[in-house]
Amino acid sequence: MHTIYTKRLLALGAAILLSCAAHAADAPAGEHPSVKRPHSLPPSADLSYTIKAKQHGLSIGGTATVQWRAGDGKYSVATESRAALFGKILENRSEGEIDEFGLAPATFYEKRFRKDPSTTTFQRDAKTITFSEGDESYPIKGGEQDRTSIQWQLAAQARATPDKFKPGSEWKFFVAGRRDAEVWSFKVMKNEAVQIGAGEVNAVHLVKAPPPDAQGQQVDLWLAPSMDWYPVRVRFNDNDGDFVDQTLEKAVKK
């Protein structure tokens, strides 16, 4: 049972906070969106989340913390996820500068439960994205994100132009993970009520769905306009019914 539980935790850690290892691009190979859009970064804050998940029939609970900092032309996001009995199962960090595209990551670091850490580097001078795991590289054209920064880039753009985040609108980004990068496309669904620690809030629901012929995860993201567009809920759904659901308990501005 201990071994089974450990495997489920590895699966859980792989999914939390948009660091999931989905490898199916949402756009034709070679497409690399580089679009300048208005952005207004949410205020720096410490955010706490509760996690509920099902992995191969086993229910798993836990917590996550996010330290979001933005100011003086720079940003950083530091996340930690913990599960009962095992403690920390995932740690990741994204940091960099703020440019005309919004967040401009310099490094993306990830350490999963019982796995070696990995670092993705955005070499701005060489205009190349490289990985400590593998030999892949990708050009930097502007606007590229990593799997931790992406939800904050979305929040910053929505905060700057809330009228454009209407149902049916789509937002594409080139997103780097542990060992490769691909196009992610988020579609705005509708406004929904989300129950968080402080009560019910209205949130804009966005979905990153895998292509029809792929087996990747679907990522659902809820951003709350009344809370500076902080991410108040993130959910990952697999085709087999497994899921990871992360909901905001508290946000403290810094």
Q: What is the pLDDT of residues 117-133, one digit of tens each?
A: 999 999 999 999 999 99
Average pLDDT over residues 82-93: 83
Segment 137-148, tens digit of pLDDT = 999 999 999 999
Which domains are delineated in the chain? 2-253 (2.40.360)
**Mean pLDDT, residues 148-164 taken together:** 97
Between 1 and 64, where is the model more confident?
Answer: 64
Cα atoms found within 13 Å of the Cα of residue 248, Cβ hemisphere only: 26
Alpha carbon 113 to its chain's center = 18
The pLDDT, as a whole number, for residue 23 is 39
Between strands 102-112 and 128-131, the pairing is unpaired
Q: Percentage of the chain with pLDDT > 90?
A: 66
First-to-final CA distance of the chain: 42
67/48 Cα distance (integer angstroms): 9
Burial class (CB in 10 A: 0-12, 13-18, 19+), 48: middle
Biggest alpha carbon–alpha carbon distance for the chain: 51
pLDDT value, residue 55: 72
Q: Would you place residue 214 in the very low, low, confident or very high pLDDT band (cuts 50, 70, 90)?
A: low
* Predicted pLDDT at 185: 93
Q: What's residue 225's pLDDT?
A: 98
Identity (one letter) of the amino acid at 232? V
* Model confidence at 30: pLDDT above 80: no
pTM of the shown model: 0.88
What is the distance of C-alpha 71 from the center of its chain?
A: 20
Confidence of residue 19 (pLDDT cuts 50, 70, 90): very low
In whole angstroms, give the CA distance from residue 81 to residue 100. Answer: 31
Q: Taking residues 53-77, report their average pLDDT.
A: 90
Q: Given this model, what pLDDT does residue 87 score?
A: 81
Report the percentage of the chain scoring pLDDT > 70.
Answer: 85
pLDDT band of residue 6 (cuts 50, 70, 90) is low
Q: Which tokens in the block code for residue 198?
A: 């402080």
Say whether pLDDT at 57 is over 90: no
CB atoms within 10 A of CB 115: 13
- CB contact set of 82 (below 8 Å; sequence gap of 6+): 62, 63, 64, 88, 89
Strands (E) in the chain, as ranges, are 45-55, 58-71, 74-83, 87-99, 102-112, 118-123, 128-131, 137-139, 145-146, 170-176, 181-196, 199-208, 218-224, 230-237, 243-253
Range of weakest confidence among 25-29, 101-105, 199-203, 207-211: 25-29
Q: What pLDDT is attached to residue 193?
A: 98
Q: Are 10 and 113 in contact (CB under 8 A)?
A: yes
Residue 20: the pLDDT is 44
Residue 93: what pLDDT?
A: 97
Residue 26 CA to residue 195 CA, distance in Å, equals 30
CB of 13 within 8 A of CB of 112?
A: yes
